[in-house]
Amino acid sequence: MATDLDLARAIFASAPFMVELGVVPTAIGAGTVATELRVEKRHTQHTGVVHAGVMATMADHSMGAAAQSLAPAGHWVLTAELKTSLLRPALGERLVCEAQVLKPGRAITFTEAQVWAVSGQQRTLVMKASATMAITAPKT
């Protein structure tokens, strides 16, 4: 699949849950994707920090997009396994996720991501994630 930022934005825009959350790609390369989310009150839990589910969703979709950038034409990527490690509470104006493919494959691809809380110029690592992505065959 092409690693064009406009195409990545169109794909994210066609995913209703990503649109609802406000996650948008900001950069894409072969096997890498960066995304951003402007934090709003609706993203937080009762303690005022960003909900872990928001960060996990952001990391999952970003890792899937990174894997998709290397998938053969006509194939799609689906998450087979997802692991997240929350490192500290996420407080900030926005979240930035950087996802990359660690090992591409014909049937499965291994990925990882980091999620950063950003306030002004300060970036704080708040989550590490990894995922095994299944490469699906085209429907005939």
- Which band of pLDDT confidence, cut at 50, 70 and 90, is reported for residue 1? low
Which residues are CB-contacts of 140 (< 8 A; sequence separation ≥ 6)?
A: none
Burial class (CB in 10 A: 0-12, 13-18, 19+), 50: buried
Would you say residue 139 has pLDDT above 90?
Answer: no
What is the number of structural domains in the chain?
1
- DSSP classification of residue 96: E
pTM equals 0.94
Q: Quick one: pLDDT at residue 2?
A: 52
Q: Quick one: pLDDT at residue 140?
A: 64
pLDDT digits (tens, 9 = 90+) for 13-30: 999 999 999 999 999 999
Look up the CATH number of the domain holding residue 13: 3.10.129.10
Domain hosting 65: range is: 5-136
Would you say residue 3 has pLDDT above 80?
Answer: no
Instruction: Give me the mean pLDDT over the 104-117 stretch.
Output: 97
Q: Quick one: pLDDT at residue 11?
A: 86
Instruction: Give me the mean pLDDT over the 90-111 stretch.
Output: 97
pLDDT digits (tens, 9 = 90+) for 41-88: 999 999 999 999 999 999 999 999 999 999 998 999 999 999 999 999
